Structure 1
Amino acid sequence: MSETNTVNHHKVALVTGANKGIGYEIAAGLGALGWSVGIGARNEERREAAVDKLRAAGADAFGVPLDVTDDASVTAAARLMEERAGRLDALVNNAGITGGGPQEPTTVDVNRVRAVETNVIGVIRVTNALLPLLRRSPSPRVVNVSSSVGSLTLQTAPGAEMGPIAIAYAPSKTFLNAVTVQYARELADTHILINAVCPGFTATDLNNFRGVRTPQQGAAAAIRLATVSADGPTGRFFDDEGEVPW
């Protein structure tokens, strides 16, 4: 997987869930490459604090009020991006939830399963709203932040240690992976490259900071895929070590 190695002063990205954790570090990494980065987040105070911090570090960052579960919010965000830049070079669908616990299949509250539709429906809602702007870019990229727990191959491998049983969260990432493939199929004749990425077990508030990787480490693969060159992959699933099986 090759990637760009030049500073892209005029490129524009939108990262959802970018006010903290992995999303923030993805935005910071793209900002350090010279990109103009929209910080998509629904919490105004945290969003603006993230923007201020990124600007203080020299990044061209701007806030984008965005609730991926709300049609009107997503439409307004797309309008803001239109007014701000007129196009979009990279969309990183990072926002997501675990659904909380417990998630054993035989006893789960089905509302937990419904809640994690955010991890899939939110991605579809945002991607479709931003597609017109992505089509205006000479090298548009879409990165869906998934997880290795969404890999059916890994989940069913003999002796595999894939964390706790989670009928809500893990299948939502399997669904997201499948959605990524369907987008890649439909967009195969375009220059839009869309891939899924696993950040690894990263210490964020989603796992009460139990992860063994830093948010910066978790952001690295997404940054690579957001900046991948025209001959890069599409419809694939990656982590830091390479391709992950579906």
Structure 2
Amino acid sequence: MARLGKYHLGLLFTVLCLILASLALIVTSITTDFWFKVSADDYATPEVKRNFSYSVGMWRRCYNKEMPLGVKAEDRAGDCVYTYKDLTRRAEDNMSSGEYRYLSLERSWVALMITAGGLQLFTIITLILGLWPMESAKAVKRSTLYLIAAIMTLFATMAAMASGICFIGMQELNKTSRALYPDSVSKKYDWSFILGWVATGLCFIEGCMFLLLLKKDHEDIRESGKYSTM
């Protein structure tokens, strides 16, 4: 088996750390309830303050003040309301085009971010199996491993980016065609949303680093005249 040089080994260790970091950020982003924050202004009516003081997550909407009237008990979790039922199959034929567009964006937002996390996890498993000591006859070529990892991380980048864009599209529809928010309400993207974009950037860096490792491996092949295993 060919040995990894210090530069090669350091680059591989760095990209492994980045994958773990981006996966942790994606999981945190998926499981926290701070993608978007809505706050009623001080001069808003009590009803507006009750209904429009909350933060939005993928699965829940958590209220800062009182729970809105009419929320079913089975949908409550403390000060939060479960919203995952909004993603399930409904009478979509009876929806208006605007409602169906919003539902499609909501489903895509969740599905694409989960897909990005799944691709990152798959990349980690692939690297572990490829790096695990094995007989030389069965060893995985480094170039093959790096190519698979580069493709997976770049796909994860596209999925996470598309997820963030879908969420932005949802909020733009809420502000415009759906006219969800009264004038006495302020809105802003929150830290779970930011974590998702940071993870997206890390995914892109990982893909570039795997391409760099692939280039380095091909340079080693040209020098040695043979493929290198892990």
Scaled by the length of structure 1, the TM-score of the pair is 0.32
Normalized per residue, the structure richer in strand is 1
Normalized per residue, the structure richer in helix is 2
Flag the structure with more relative contact order, 1 or 2, with Cα contacts below 8 A and sequence separation at least 6: 2
**Pair member with larger Rg:** 2
